[in-house]
Amino acid sequence: MEVLPDSKLLAPRNLLGAELCGAKPATMRPDSGPGPADMANYWRAIWNRKAAVCGATLLSALAACLLTIPQTRLYQAQTSIELQGLNENFLHMNEITPSMGLYSTDGYVQTQVDILQSRSLVRRAAQKANLTARLNTTRHSSSPALHEPVNGEPGEPGEEALKEIANHLKIRTSPPTRVIRITYDAPNPQLAADFANALAAEYVNQTIESRWSEGQNTSEWLSHIQEDLKARLQRSEDRLQNYMRSAGLIFLADNKGTAAEERLRQLQEELSKAQAEHIARESEYEVALAGRLDALPRVLDSVGLGDTQQKLTALRVELAELSHALTPQHYKIQRLKAQIDELQAEIEKGRANILKRIKNEYEQAERRERLLRAACMQQKQAVTDQAQKAVQYGLLKHEVDSDRTLYDSVLQRAREASIASGIRTSTVRVIDPAEPPSKPYKPNLLMNTALGTLTGLFLALVFVTTMENRDRRVRRPGEARLFSNTRELGVVPFSRGGSLEAEVVADSMHAMLTSLHSPGAAHRGPSILVVTSPGPGEGKTTIVRQLGCVMGDASRRVLLVDGDRHRPRLHALFGISNESGLNSLLQETQAVDEYPPEALGTLCAEGLYVLPSGPQCEGRRDVLYSPFGCARMAKLLARMQRQFDVILIDTPPMLECPDARVFGRLSDGVVLVVRAGHTSSEAVGLCTERLHEDGSVVLGTVLNACDASRSSYGYYRRRGSAAGS
């Protein structure tokens, strides 16, 4: 373990989630959710209560079967019809009759469903199929008959019969299609098919009659409208011709306006071009005046200036090269300077010519725009004078055009309506006529029994999972591993004090020691080991004592450190004094290397030493979290490693005190003690999650006080009741 000097220790942070000081680097481990553990617990709970689950399922299935058997058998017949919208575009009838354009909408389909369920159509279909009399013959003798009305036509159903028919009639749609399915239930299969077919046939006849009547009315109405529009069109054309002769208006061909308006459009187009040219020249001139002549495209594209600039650049390069070898008075230097000045003057002259040309073009564009604007103003005045006369002409012309368009449209529609009214077609097509069903559809014994079985199974599973959620505790070996996503180092049976049970506990300690020395833990096992638990009363101190004794028997020097500074117990278990201990070493200023070996622990058994917690000092209980205490603890552990083979640190419960998290960062690994039937699964998951967040190495869990009678470990059951906490 690396011990940091005081200068490299970090200041402590918040106790609940921040990095404390002086810890060796650790690799963060990914979080693991409790999903697999939840599923394992649910399956185990279901298996343990399998008799109750099976009983509830069978009872529900039997009840569903007994309720289904005495029900009346009903047969269902179905016929399908299609709303074709056959003539909705025929001769543009959808523009004449508004209802014609509704055949493809969802609202139209729903309207037809309501029509199929209407009392008048149902009454006509029932009368055609003689439904009332046939229903009376199929009813039980104990049921009242569906009497016909006294003053009604023969076979016409009464109110009571219509209500019963409506209860057994179902009309369904299949969006986005325009298919409607008519189903009817009856105790007689032939009766169900006959009524479904009768209702579809009556609906088809009703749509034919409705379309023919609507077409006749539309044709007669359009004929009257046509005569009125013809006379109105003649009057409006006469008024238009008289006004044109009196005003002397001249229009262009194809009614594209007057000659003055055409001239104005041409002048406006020329003015727009002149304005654009003016803006472009003005922008170019402003750039030139600003001294940025080199940025203009015409300067950049000038071949003469480009060649001159290249020559000037070459002479300057040559001058720079000769300046290193010759003096400024040398004739070659003087000649190059003269050539450079000459080229520079030539470039300046070329730029001045370009600037002058830009200015002339700008002034010319400005003058042209001014002249075109004046011409446009004059032409606008001429157009305004003619517009006053054209207003009245436009009104009269619009009236004539409207009357002619309306007259032509009505004339065409009147002819189409006359033709369409003579065609008696239907927009409804029967796809599948109803046939007598071979077997009843209701009640369905098999389906009802299956539903009853599934309902009973579902309720039983809900009950089992609800009971399981009320008590989610770790009870059996392997459960803590699922909740913590770590290894299970060992299982300590519950002990009542017998010699055989003590032997079993010792065997479990040796198994735990073997797990700690496995290749997954380290090459030689961890030398600094922290033992903690989620809450109090879970046996971590007892585990530390027993594990220390087993390690001491293995000819190793083991030090037990009581890190529970709030409720220390190790000194009482080993019968030693608690006047000096870990608290004293943390608060003293003496160098750690100066302590004698006996100051770090009291020999209590062969190879086993104990360092008690020591007396608590009021007002300084946070010494472990201070920079001084944190650094001193790291140095103490380094000193202990040189003197002992293994160091076991007993810490307070993690969920009540964060001391275990501090010790975990300074150790080689942490062991989490879980008590069977006492520790909750949420507490196990929360502790491992916090340790992983701190970067501590979680070696695994130890299941303490496991009931051997319920354990899956047959060896423990054969050797007796379990060992203790």
Q: In what order do the strands lie in the sheet with 558-562?
A: 488-493, 698-706, 669-675, 528-532, 646-650, 558-562, 608-611, 602-605
The answer as to whether 686 is a domain residue is yes
Tell me how far apart the alpha carbons of residues 340 and 337 are, in angstroms, rounded to a whole number: 5
Do residues 722 and 706 make contact, with C-beta atoms less than 8 angstroms apart?
yes
Whether the model pTM is above 0.75: no
Both 464 and 495 in one domain: the answer is no
Are 509 and 604 in the same domain? yes
- Assess contact for 697 and 26: CB atoms under 8 A: yes
Q: Looking at the domain assignment, is residue 189 inside a domain?
A: no
Query: Do 504 and 373 fall into the same domain?
Result: no
Distance CA 654, CA 638 (A): 24
The pLDDT value given to residue 1? 31
Tens of pLDDT along 388-436?
A: 777 777 788 888 888 888 888 888 877 777 676 666 567 788 888 988 8
User: Within this chain, do residues 517 and 607 fall inside the same structural domain, yes or no?
Assistant: yes
pLDDT attached to residue 651: 93
Question: Which residues make Cβ contacts (< 8 Å) with residue 646, sequence separation at least 6?
Answer: 525, 526, 527, 529, 551, 556, 557, 558, 559
Last residue of a domain, one of 361, 389, 417: 389
pLDDT for the residue numbered 672 = 93
Same-domain pairing of 260 and 323: yes
Residue 146 covered by a domain: no
- Out of 470, 505, 525, pick the residue that ends a domain: 470
> What CATH number corresponds to the domain at position 583?
3.40.50.300
Residue 142: per-residue pLDDT: 36
Which of the listed residues 357, 373, 389 is the one where a domain comes to its end? Answer: 389
Does 600 share its domain with 682? Answer: yes
572/633 same-domain check: yes
C-alpha dihedral, 122 to 125 to 127 to 132, nearest 10°: -70
Q: Same structural domain for residues 538 and 681?
A: yes
Does one domain contain both 537 and 673? yes
Structural domain includes residue 673: yes
pLDDT of residue 706: 83
C-alpha 251/C-alpha 4 separation (Å) is: 103
Does residue 374 sit within a domain? Answer: yes
Q: Are residues 447 and 533 in the same domain?
A: no
- Supply the pLDDT for residue 637: 92
Question: Is 166 a domain residue?
Answer: no
Distances (CA, A) of 614 to 581, 587, 646, 668: 4, 11, 21, 24
Tens of pLDDT along 113-139?
Answer: 898 888 888 888 888 877 767 766 665
Length of the chain in terms of residues written: 725
Structurally, the chain folds into a number of domains equal to: 3
The list of the chain residues with pLDDT below 50 reads 1-34, 86-88, 90, 96, 98, 100-102, 140-151, 519-523, 712-725
Q: Residue 640's domain spans which residues?
A: 488-702+713-719
One domain, residues 516 and 571: yes
In a domain, 13, yes or no: no
**Cα–Cα distance between 639 and 621 in angstroms, integer?**
23
* Residue 313 confidence (pLDDT): 78
The answer on 453 and 517 residing in a single domain is: no
Tell me whether residue 570 is in a domain: yes
